[in-house]
């Protein structure tokens, strides 16, 4: 499961066996777990994050969308 970005205790990554899904990123922080589609940006789920952390994650996914998408395609192509 390649980690593609870490900041503020958040880890952004994808699983190496998910090539059949659209590009997306998983997020972890402590007991928090989440997933965002990248094209278009859409929250799939966010569990055990408070509202401030959810806003922070959404902001970072939007800010890093192109980087995350490029890492996805580099890994799976």
Q: Which residues contact 8 (CB under 8 A, 6 or more apart)?
A: 29, 56
pLDDT for 73 beyond 90:
yes
Q: What is the mean pLDDT of residues 64-69?
A: 97
* Domains in the chain: boundaries: 3-76
The token duo for 7 is: 């900041």
Q: How confident is the model over 1-60, as pLDDT tens digits?
A: 789 999 999 999 999 999 899 999 999 999 999 999 999 999 999 999 999 999 999 999
Q: How many CA atoms lie within 13 A of 22 on its CB side?
A: 9
The residue whose two tokens read 């922070």 is: 56
């Amino acid at each position: 499961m390649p980690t593609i970005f870490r900041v503020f205790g958040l880890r952004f990554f994808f699983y190496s066996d998910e090539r059949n899904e659209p590009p997306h990123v998983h997020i972890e922080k402590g007991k928090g777990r989440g997933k965002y589609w990248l094209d278009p940006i859409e929250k799939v789920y966010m569990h055990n994050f408070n509202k401030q952390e959810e806003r922070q994650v959404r902001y970072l996914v939007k800010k890093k969308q192109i980087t995350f998408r490029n890492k996805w395609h580099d890994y799976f192509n």
